[in-house]
Structure formats: C-alpha cells, structure tokens
C-alpha cells in the first residue's frame, strides 16, 4: 500500500518523530501540501516554508482538511477525530508505516514490555562486528525516517518498536524479536487486551520467508508467535532441543549447523539479572542467523556497556553503592533489578505516576526480601506499601518514608543505608507528575547522589 496518498499531508503531533517525518516529507515529497497539527500553542517548523499550522486545544479538528494523516505514536488511533476520519475515507498512517513501506534493506524489529532497548542495542553491537552499515533506530530515540534517505539494500536496521508505534502498522519487520509481554500503558489502552493486540502486530504481516524469535516459556508471547506465518526460532533460559540459544549449568550455549557450542558464562555478562539474561539470549539467537562467528558474538557480549538508566551504577559513597534503574516502570522490572543485585540491597526508592498497574506481585516479592528501607514517591508508593502489607505483618515490615522530591529521597538514603550495602532506584512506575520522563528522573538521582555524597 502506498503510504502517501493524495496531494495533502497532515503531520499529527510535532514531537521528535513528527519533526523527523516533516524533514523526510520535505525532501522526498517536496511538492505536496503539508500541515502540522499539535496541541502546543507555538512550534517552529524544521523544514519548508509553505506549511499550514493547526495549534492549540482544537488541533485535531484540522484532520478533515487533509487526505493523508501521519499520526505520531503518542496520539492514539482510537481518538474520536481519527475514527471519524477513517470512516470518511481518510488515509491514516504513521512514521513506522512510512519507514517499513519504503525501507530498502533488512529490518530487525524488537518489541516486548521491557528489555527492548538493551536487546536492540546488543543486537546492533554484535552485528557491527561483521557488517558495515548497521543502524539502531526507533523507540530508543532515533527516528527511523532520519536514517532512511541514504540507506541501501545492504543496510541492516535494528528497530526498537513500542506498542504505540505498532498500534496501526500494516507491515512487519523481516525478523521480529518478541520479548516478554506483561501489563503496561493501561492508562493509554484501557485494558491489557488492546495492549497485547498492538504488540502482536509485529508478526501479523510477516511472510513465510520472515523469522520470529521468542522464548516459548512466556505463554502470551508464545500464543502470538506460534500463530505467525514466519519461521519460528526459539531461545530459553532452560535446556532443550528446540532452542537455538539456551542455558545449562550457568552457561549460555548456542546451536549452529546441528552442533552445540559454549558461548559465555552468565556471570561474565556485563548486564546482570534474569531480564538481561533473556535480552542476551535473544540477541545471540538473532545474530546467529547472520552467520557471525562464535568468537565475535562472545567478545561482543563481554564488552557490551549497560545502557543509561537501566541498572547502571550511580557511584559509591561512604561504602554505599547506588544504582539507577529509572527505566524500571513496571513492578516486574523492579523484581529483575533486585534479583540482579542480590541480598545487599538494603534501601529501595520506588513509586511514581499511577497507570493502573497491579503491585501485588512486587509486594509479595518484597515480603520475602531483606529490604530494610522503602522510600516511596506518590502515587504508586502507597499502592506498593498496601500490597506489601498483605504479605508481611506489622513489626516485620521495612521502615517506610514517603517523599515528594528526589532530594529528600537521596538524603534519606544516605542517612539510613549502611556501608557495604546498596541503595537502588527502581520505581516500578512512570515518572510523570514529578519528573519530565525517566531520563530526567534518573539524571536527577545521579546528580544528587554525587552532590550529597561528596558533602555527606
């Protein structure tokens, strides 16, 4: 399907991806009429002079004036004005659709609830040992269309794809990597079913010659992937004949040409915890399809640097080790972080914006750990505490502090955490309300750790 139809385009939403779309359209389709619609009252267009602006509270009302509407990921296809436009025969598309329709080279798409960025970065890191033109794009912060203009058939794109980007796609990547899927973004989708449906689009349009890579031990993921038309390639943290990559006796093995080779011991991985083990298995499985040597995969796994805000060290002061896991925005991610760091975690900073997630699983997990102090942000800090209180009686619960600023949280952490122990920021919730985003939250944490630590 041609993604640019008619003689007029409305770029709906003018954030990072909307601006990228404008740059691409101005270069590739210079003669087409372009409009920009955004709820901000003022914007500065990045390209073109003959641009119509539709700004402010009623920005969605401009949809009816254009033949093609390119939706930004943050604007749901379920919005009433977009649904009416569909009924009126308007062509609604997205940056992701435009990219997948026009890309000349190979696309590896990665989705899942957590681990997308690490897995995508690790796949690109390994591929670059053997391929000259590997481009890491998508939800990780690099708009796809910015990297399309000079791409060739030899280009390999590694694309992190969010549920918002997959919500209305009409194409699937050549290789789809599907990580575990658990509830998230329920404030956006309304229910888990719609969120799963968006994720499943990564394989919906795959063909027989395409490939999907997944861990069949995750029931939801397995149901999605087993129904795909593409070839199924599987990995697991367990041993099994059907797995290309698997774990045995603390070591990752890889299957190649009916032979099995030892790849790396788990404790050699620079990224720690069960979630990151899965990311490493997924990346090794994916890159094995490109006939990269075992030695190159081994070395790339060993020297991969953990990403910012993903269980990264924030320094050691007065014998206390601090870790920043600001991207942990669901309860399951907090559990992965605690598993990775082990019994030395004494102080946990958690909580944030409430998107309707259930904290029972985290409350149950914390009731069995030796966490001494919980420092909790609104709104979900109270939900986490209530969940914990279901499983551990009064008198045996951790010390609780409720805070509204990161400065207070860090100050308390320095006061209560003993030398030789760990303070972990792993919120299990979104950052909105107090911080701009997870990056702002993590950077604020790291900045205050350094400032207070040097003066403590």
Q: Which two tokens stand for residue 31?
A: 């003669």
Cα–Cα distance list, 15 to 21, 36, 211, 281, 430 (Å): 10, 11, 32, 34, 19
3-state secondary structure 305-344: CCCCCCCEEEEEECCEEEEECCCCCCHHHHHHHHHHHHHH
- Counting Cα atoms < 13 Å in the Cβ hemisphere of 131 gives 22
Stretch 343-364: mean pLDDT, rounded?
93
- Counting Cα atoms < 13 Å in the Cβ hemisphere of 208 gives 0
| pLDDT digits 0-9 by tens, 221-265 | 999 999 999 999 999 999 999 999 999 999 999 998 888 999 999
Does residue 28 register a pLDDT over 60? yes
Quote the pLDDT of residue 79.
83
| pLDDT digits 0-9 by tens, 127-153 | 999 999 999 998 777 899 999 989 999
- Among candidate residues 181, 237, 242, 176, the one with its CA nearest the CA of residue 210: 176
- Among candidate residues 167, 173, 197, the one with its CA nearest the CA of residue 123: 173
| pLDDT digits 0-9 by tens, 30-76 | 889 999 999 999 998 987 667 999 999 999 989 989 999 999 988 88
- The answer to whether residues 110 and 174 touch, using CB atoms and an 8 Å cutoff, is no
Stretch 68-87: mean pLDDT, rounded?
88
Q: Which residue has the higher pLDDT, 356 or 365?
A: 365
Stretch 285-293: mean pLDDT, rounded?
95
- d(Cα 204, Cα 198) in Å, to the nearest integer? 10
Quote the pLDDT of residue 175.
98
Radius of gyration in angstroms for the set of CA atoms belonging to the chain, rounded to a whole number = 23
Percent of the chain with pLDDT strictly greater than 70: 97
Quote the pLDDT of residue 229.
96
- d(Cα 173, Cα 106) in Å, to the nearest integer? 8
Beta 373-376 vs 345-350: how paired, if at all?
A: parallel
Stretch 90-106: mean pLDDT, rounded?
94
Percent of the chain with pLDDT strictly greater than 90: 74
Quote the pLDDT of residue 1.
56
Quote the pLDDT of residue 190.
67
Residues in the chain: 456
Q: Which residue has the higher pLDDT, 407 or 256?
A: 407
- The answer to whether residues 8 and 69 touch, using CB atoms and an 8 Å cutoff, is no
| pLDDT digits 0-9 by tens, 426-435 | 999 998 889 9
Residues 6+ apart with CB under 8 A from 58: none
- The answer to whether residues 304 and 268 touch, using CB atoms and an 8 Å cutoff, is no
| pLDDT digits 0-9 by tens, 179-195 | 999 876 656 666 788 88
Does residue 118 register a pLDDT over 70? yes
Q: Which two tokens stand for residue 110?
A: 């990665």
Does residue 352 register a pLDDT over 80? yes
Stretch 10-39: mean pLDDT, rounded?
92
Quote the pLDDT of residue 191.
75
Helix axes 406-416, 438-455, angle to 10 degrees: 50
pLDDT band at 399 (very low <50, low <70, confident <90, very high): very high
Largest CA distance in the chain: 71
- d(Cα 311, Cα 403) in Å, to the nearest integer? 22
Quote the pLDDT of residue 177.
98
Quote the pLDDT of residue 372.
95
Does residue 332 register a pLDDT over 80? yes
Q: Which two tokens stand for residue 332?
A: 């399951």
Does residue 286 register a pLDDT over 60? yes
3-state secondary structure the chain: CCCCCCCEEEEECCCHHHHHHHHHHHHHCCCCEEEEEECCCCCCCCCCCCEEEEECCCHHHHHHHCCEEEECCCCCCCCHHHHHHHHCCCEEEEHHHHHHHHCCCEEEEEECCCCHHHHHHHHHHHHCCCCCCEEEEECCCECHHHHCCCCCCCCEEEEECCHHHHCCCCCCCCEEEECCCCCCCHHHHCCHHHHHHHHHHHHHCCCCCCEEEECCCCHHHHHHHHCCCCEEEEECCCCCCCEEEEEECCEEEEEECCEEEEEEEHHHCCCCCHHHHHHHHHHHHHHHCCCCCHHHHHHHHHHCCCCCCCCEEEEEECCEEEEECCCCCCHHHHHHHHHHHHHHEEEEEECCECCCCCCHHHHHHHCCCCCCEEEECCCHHHHHHHHHHCCCCCCCCCEEEECCCHHHHHHHHHHHCCCCCEEEECCCCECCCCCCCHHHHHHHHHHHHHHHHHHC
Quote the pLDDT of residue 425.
98
- The answer to whether residues 286 and 387 touch, using CB atoms and an 8 Å cutoff, is no
Cα–Cα distance list, 315 to 45, 220, 267, 448 (Å): 41, 38, 21, 11
Stretch 1-16: mean pLDDT, rounded?
90
- d(Cα 338, Cα 367) in Å, to the nearest integer? 13
Does residue 154 register a pLDDT over 90? yes
Domains by residue range for the chain, with CATH: 8-94 (3.40.50.720), 103-303 (3.40.1190.10), 312-455 (3.90.190.20)
- d(Cα 436, Cα 440) in Å, to the nearest integer? 6
Quote the pLDDT of residue 455.
78
């Amino acid at each position: 399907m041609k993604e640019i139809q008619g003689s007029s385009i409305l770029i709906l939403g003018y954030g990072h991806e909307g601006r990228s779309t404008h740059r691409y359209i101005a270069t590739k389709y210079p003669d087409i009429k372009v409009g920009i619609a955004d709820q901000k009252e003022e914007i500065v267009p990045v390209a073109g002079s003959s641009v119509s602006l539709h700004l402010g509270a009623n920005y969605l009302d401009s949809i009816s004036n254009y033949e093609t509407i390119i939706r930004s990921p943050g604007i749901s296809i379920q919005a009433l004005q977009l649904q009416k436009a569909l009924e009126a025969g308007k062509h609604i598309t997205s940056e992701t659709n435009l990219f997948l329709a026009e890309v000349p080279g190979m696309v590896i798409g990665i989705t899942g609830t957590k681990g997308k960025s690490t897995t995508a970065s690790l796949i690109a890191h390994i591929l670059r040992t053997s391929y000259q033109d590997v481009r890491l794009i998508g939800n990780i912060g690099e708009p796809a269309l910015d990297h399309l203009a000079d791409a060739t058939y030899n280009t390999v794109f590694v694309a992190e794809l969010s549920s918002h980007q997959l919500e209305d796609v009409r194409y699937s990547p050549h290789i789809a990597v599907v990580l575990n899927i658990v509830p998230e973004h329920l404030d956006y989708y309304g229910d888990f079913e719609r969120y799963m449906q968006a994720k499943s689009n990564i394989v919906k349009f795959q063909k027989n010659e395409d490939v999907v890579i997944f861990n069949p031990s995750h029931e939801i993921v397995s149901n999605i992937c087993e129904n795909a038309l593409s070839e199924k390639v599987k990995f697991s943290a367990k041993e099994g004949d059907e797995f290309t990559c698997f774990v045995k006796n603390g070591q990752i093995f890889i299957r190649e040409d009916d032979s099995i080779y030892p790849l790396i011991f788990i404790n050699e991985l620079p990224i720690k915890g069960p979630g990151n083990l899965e990311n490493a298995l997924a990346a090794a499985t994916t890159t094995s399809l490109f006939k990269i040597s075992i030695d190159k995969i081994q070395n790339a796994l060993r020297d991969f640097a953990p990403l910012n805000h993903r269980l990264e060290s924030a320094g050691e002061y007065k014998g206390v080790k601090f870790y920043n896991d600001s991207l942990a925005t669901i309860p399951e991610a907090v559990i992965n972080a605690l598993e990775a760091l082990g019994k030395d975690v004494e102080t946990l900073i958690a909580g944030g914006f409430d998107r309707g997630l259930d904290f029972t699983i985290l409350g149950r997990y914390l009731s069995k750990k030796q966490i001494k102090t919980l420092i909790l942000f609104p709104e979900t800090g109270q939900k986490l505490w209530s969940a914990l209180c279901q499983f551990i009686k009064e008198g045996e619960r951790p010390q609780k502090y409720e805070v509204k600023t990161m400065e207070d949280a860090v100050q308390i952490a320095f006061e209560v955490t003993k030398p030789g122990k760990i303070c972990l920021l792993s919120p299990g919730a979104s950052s909105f309300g107090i911080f701009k985003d997870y990056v702002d939250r993590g950077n604020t944490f790291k900045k205050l750790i350094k400032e207070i630590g040097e003066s403590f």
